[in-house]
Chain A
Amino acid sequence: MATQPEKLPPQEKLLVDYVHRLESHRQGRHLVHIHLSQLRPFNRREQHIRMASAGFEPIIKAMTGQVFLLKNSDLFIVFKSAARAQVETVVQKVRFMFSDDPLVEEDGKNGKVFASWYDAETQYEEILALVNGLADAEEKRVMEVRNRMDARQRLKEKQKKGEPLNPAVLASVEEALSRADLSNLVRRQFICRVDTKMVPEQLFSELYISIQDLRETVLPGVNLVSNRWLFQHFTETLDRRVLSMLMKTDAVSISGDISFNVNVKTLLSNQFQVFDDNLTAARRGAMVIELQKEDIFSDLNAYLFAREFVQTKGYRVCLDGLTTETLAIIDRKRLGTDMAKLVWHPSLVDGGDEVQSYLKGLLDRDGPDRWILCRCDSREAIDFGRTVGFERFQGRFVENLIAEDGRRRELLKLKRRIERSSEPQFDEEE
């Protein structure tokens, strides 16, 4: 595909090169980072940014400084001490240009800063880390966008994950599903409290149908998740099967508290009424209903009604599928769910202090019992979670911990038995 605009000289790269060269003559050099990317979109229009950047032209002409305009609209000016007063004046002018923007109005508050100043002599490492980080982020972004739009990538996906789902295929999958025995596709994953020694304590388990296995059993060669809307519809069909299965197993053979995913629409269906009628009040209290955020927002009216309905019956409700990006936008407390699950992703760590302090605040406000960090597939996830206040975890790594803990207990038992048998056995001698 022709994407000429992207072939423009990347300012990010130029900035990195420049900062590298700066290493040998840091003395008397300064850098100011103007956070124009934090402006409201309305103020971030190209002409505004160009105007802001043009203000520094005289400094470039006088050879006392260099200006870099990054793709995210941030401005970097590297300048000599002699030009400091001049740079400060221009920064003030730029500030004035955007004086009605919250970024300027709230400068210094809520972690918002209009401009950050650095002295290359004393803060060189900091500068280097900053520009490297920005360049990496930009490169990653371009790569990902390209991947998403790339036919090659799509083809690769198709070869790896199967034919994309289309309505006709979906219809036949649903047909096949109505006859298939799903009981051997039910998987169980535990939500655990994990202590500092990485010893897990099982709190409740999520029951779900393994989509991966389902695909292989019911319709090999079809990528069920390739279209989010068709998949979402498919989950409604799946919900009904899960409910009837939970009913058959009486949910009694399943020990302990359990959670399962359903759609709001399912909670309002007759099927759920029947399911509910078959449960004792005590059993309801042992169940957690997990709802997806997009499902909730597709019909808030229905969600509010359903949430109230199941909560008064005694079920607990968990908001599922929060991510780094949605965390700040969707508030568990406002939605009135008992719990929320945040999906672990390394980007949580990349988010730096801002994300960490935000999460800390949330966990402080709600208490650790309301939050679960899920899809933890590495120790890093648990370590990160603990530092911001998570106590409850779920995911492959947690499953490993459980297995490990089981082995350790077995060994301990064995050891005790050996110890006991090697003790002097007076009784038998008598």
Chain B
Amino acid sequence: MGILHHLQHWLNGQGLQLQPVEFVPETHAIRLWADTFPWDAMVDAVTQSFAQRFPKKRAKGGRAPVSPRVLLALELLKHELGESDEGICQRLRTDVAVMYACGLREVQADGSQAHFVLPETLAQFRRRIDPDLMDKLVAIQAAAAMEEGLVSPAHLLVDTFPSEQGSQRVTDATTLYKAQKKPSSHRANQQTGHRSRHDLEHASC
């Protein structure tokens, strides 16, 4: 399913109108954090990059797609708050501070609406980000901070650190060893009278 199929449902909601700017306290951690980002420049960079690399025009009609501002903010919030895709999309529906960080100035939703943005939409957006765009976004943020006089690149420190990726099983032999170990331990458990949860459930029936 294309990214354009997941729509901004809040545009046609019939519920009460909510203004996150008025509602979220100015000292709220998420509001302070969100206010540090140069959103306009970042969204422009994303839009330009997507338009260049995915020039396919969308069909006329239908509702407007989810704004890149919302998706970019969700992706950043996901890492700031340590949430999953599902978790952050759920919070966008219920957390007014997250709505503020996503740039939603007015929200009008029905109670029956489970999502504003589906997790699949966020995954599709992420897939479209390439390393060049990512570097550009980091550079835009750094440039904005320098321009405001908050940071200076005069003296810098460099370091590296490792990060796990992929399965951390070392060899096929280890896998085999563990696989061989499991049935034997299971058998041992059975012999000593240990009963699995499954067995207990059957017994209770």
The yes or no verdict on A and B being binding partners is no
